[in-house]
Chains A and B, each alone.
Chain A
Amino acid sequence: MGNFLFGPFTDNEFLRQSLYAGILVSAICAVAGTFVVLRGLAFAGDALAHGVVPGVAAALLFGFSGVLGAAIGAGVMMSGVSVVTRRYRLSGDTAIGLLFVGMLALGVIIQSRSSSFAGDLTNILFGELLGVSNSDLMWQFVALVAVCVVAWLCRRPFLLLSVDDGLTETSGFSVKKYHNIMLAMVALTVVASFQTVGTLLVLGLLIAPAATGALFARRIGIMMVVAAVVGIFSTYVGLLVSYHANVAAGASIVFCSVLVFTACAVVVEVQRWQAHRKDIHHDHDQPHVHGHVHVS
């Protein structure tokens, strides 16, 4: 049993590297994903994840850094959404939808010029988890530190943004400025994560662990910790399943995180049902009191 659970990681250097990368990505996504869930930025996060595709495709075609290409793609995506929303008074989700499909299509067009079109595109969309280098790990660690510093420094405006834009503005924090900083943090997360789980699946690690944290946590910090634990657990189980069943690693990790959310949601639902039944029994056991004033 021990060999089944730990053998793949002790015997294979490449799988250990993948585990380290998965742990780092899970931690980054836990911090950024918490605010994505609280602020309701899932669609924007998805768009950013797809917005990096043309940048990475161009990097592959012209031979420059994939991370640089992804960063340029994310920057173009964010600027495009901002311009379309502001200048043409279209809603945010319309602007995001437009840029989302536009950037994805551009990425496929650029990539179709490559001689290894199918293989490269698959790597961009689903990641190359089993080909993680030491420099990739270093870059992901730097990204983790940067995301944590931004989240800590901006914790007050980020919290206010999660509650109400008006409250944020009247508390002296610019909604536009801190919303953009939050988007930039999500973009950095996507750029740091796409090599591990791919642009198509990074949203899964951004949303599912944070959403699981939201089911249980009473404080933002606890939500982040739960999200990180779920992400790391999913990474471990996903890699194990991938190794033993010979299936795609990135997809296994993300699918596992969604399964964890589903299981936790069922547990919460059962707890609520039990609490409801307890209340009903309690009411039946109590004598009825008439004429009291209900203070809400």
Chain B
Amino acid sequence: MSARIEATGLAVGYGHRPIVEGLNFSLQPGELLVLIGTNGSGKSTLLKTLAGLVAAQGGSVNVLGAAPGTQHSLVGYLPQHPVSSHTLPLRVEDVVAMGRYAHLGLTRRARAQDHRIVQESMERTGAIAYKSRPLRDLSGGQQQRTHLAQVLARRADVLLLDEPTAGLDLVGRQAVAELVEQERARGVVVVMATHELSDADTADMVMLLAQRVVSQGPPASALNDAALRECFGFTQPH
């Protein structure tokens, strides 16, 4: 089976200053890679590189067999803390419908199938309960669910999620974990950045970052005491 994402000796960063170098990984359909690290460790930069928003500083990377940022309708990206302007007069269902824009392009009219996907995405995240409310009137958690519905509406083969559980309570975080599992079950590759060690429980691969790869592998081996102490200064309670 061919890899959906393949990185060899990848260096990511801004300008000409790499933040993390020597990244090597390969993800098959349905696999989950969880990126864990402190702020500034390179998690978001790696996700932006995979999304094509930031150019790779070195090495090679391909997403779905092409350069990052070239297959828009097949790659969904959830930015960290998406901006919800206080002035933005958009209802939740309008925001979720924006997830279909990569398929619709500039001029194609939305069809029944697009409306159905938007509806389903809102149902899956629970955003359907407040679909007619303006985004600006919602709590942080409700906004996050809306943005999650938007990225699901892309119906992508690769999902790049930057702290998708930020601002969510326990129930919300469990719901995100279930969504990720559902996406994996239909063959979607998920790369997720998080601060929560528990988000890595079901991952195929965990990468512990601290401006370098501290450890990498299945959760049980990657999240070892020495690596956690180096990364965060503490170990996981047993």
Q: How far apart sit A139 and B37, CA to CA, in the bound complex (Å)? A: 58
Give chain A nearest CB distance to B75 CB in angstroms: 7
Binds A, one of B82-90, B191-199, B205-213: B82-90
A169-195 interface (Cβ within 8 A of B): 169-173
In contact, B142 and A163 (Cβ under 8 angstroms): no
Give chain B nearest CB distance to A174 CB in angstroms: 11
In contact, B94 and A219 (Cβ under 8 angstroms): yes
Interface: B187 (CB within 8 A): no
In contact, A218 and B91 (Cβ under 8 angstroms): yes
In contact, B83 and A164 (Cβ under 8 angstroms): yes
In contact, A219 and B90 (Cβ under 8 angstroms): yes
In contact, B52 and A170 (Cβ under 8 angstroms): yes
In contact, A154 and B106 (Cβ under 8 angstroms): yes
Contact partner of A296 (CB less than 8 A), chosen from B51, B82, B169, is B169
Interface: B69 (CB within 8 A): yes
A46-79 interface (Cβ within 8 A of B): none
Contact partner of A170 (CB less than 8 A), chosen from B53, B104, B105, B141, is B53
Query: Which residues in B have their C-beta under 8 angstroms from that of A294?
Result: 169
Chain B: which residue is nearest A163 at the CB level? B83
In contact, B171 and A295 (Cβ under 8 angstroms): yes
Q: How far apart sit A221 and B102, CA to CA, in the bound complex (Å)? A: 22
In contact, B51 and A166 (Cβ under 8 angstroms): yes
Query: Which residues in A have their C-beta under 8 angstroms from that of B69?
Result: 169-170
Q: A166-B53, A169-B52, A295-B169 are in contact. Are A214 and B102 (CB under 8 A)?
A: no
Interface: B155 (CB within 8 A): no
Query: Which residues in A have their C-beta under 8 angstroms from that of B77?
Result: 166-167, 170
Interface string of A206-225 (1 = CB under 8 A from B): 00000101100111101100
**A contact face: mostly helix, strand, loop, or mixed:** helix
Interface string of B90-129 (1 = CB under 8 A from A): 1100110010011011110000000000000000001000
Q: What class of interface size applies to chain B in its complex with A? A: 35 or more
In contact, B90 and A220 (Cβ under 8 angstroms): yes
Q: How far apart sit A28 and B68, CA to CA, in the bound complex (Å)? A: 39
Interface: B18 (CB within 8 A): no
Interface: B218 (CB within 8 A): no
Q: How far apart sit A171 and B102, CA to CA, in the bound complex (Å)? A: 4
Interface: B24 (CB within 8 A): no
Query: Which residues in B have their C-beta under 8 angstroms from that of A163?
Result: 82-85, 88, 90, 95, 98
Query: Which residues in B have their C-beta under 8 angstroms from that of A153?
Result: 106-107
Q: How far apart sit A160 and B76, CA to CA, in the bound complex (Å)? A: 14
Give chain B nearest CB distance to A95 CB in angstroms: 19
In contact, A166 and B79 (Cβ under 8 angstroms): yes
Q: How far apart sit A218 and B134, CA to CA, in the bound complex (Å)? A: 6
Q: How far apart sit A164 and B101, CA to CA, in the bound complex (Å)? A: 14
A263-293 interface (Cβ within 8 A of B): 293
In contact, B104 and A156 (Cβ under 8 angstroms): yes
Chain A: which residue is nearest B105 at the CB level? A172
Interface: B139 (CB within 8 A): yes
In contact, A217 and B89 (Cβ under 8 angstroms): yes
Chain B: which residue is nearest A219 at the CB level? B89
Interface: A37 (CB within 8 A): yes
Interface: B140 (CB within 8 A): yes
In contact, A222 and B89 (Cβ under 8 angstroms): yes
Interface: B26 (CB within 8 A): no
Q: How far apart sit A169 and B82, CA to CA, in the bound complex (Å)? A: 14
Given contacts A163-B84, A163-B98, 12 further A-B contacts (CB under 8 A): A38-B88, A156-B98, A156-B106, A160-B98, A163-B83, A163-B90, A163-B95, A164-B79, A166-B51, A170-B76, A217-B89, A219-B89
User: Which B residues have a C-beta under 8 Å from some C-beta of A?
Assistant: 48, 51-53, 69, 72-73, 75-77, 79, 82-85, 87-91, 94-95, 98, 101-102, 104-107, 126, 134, 139-142, 167-172
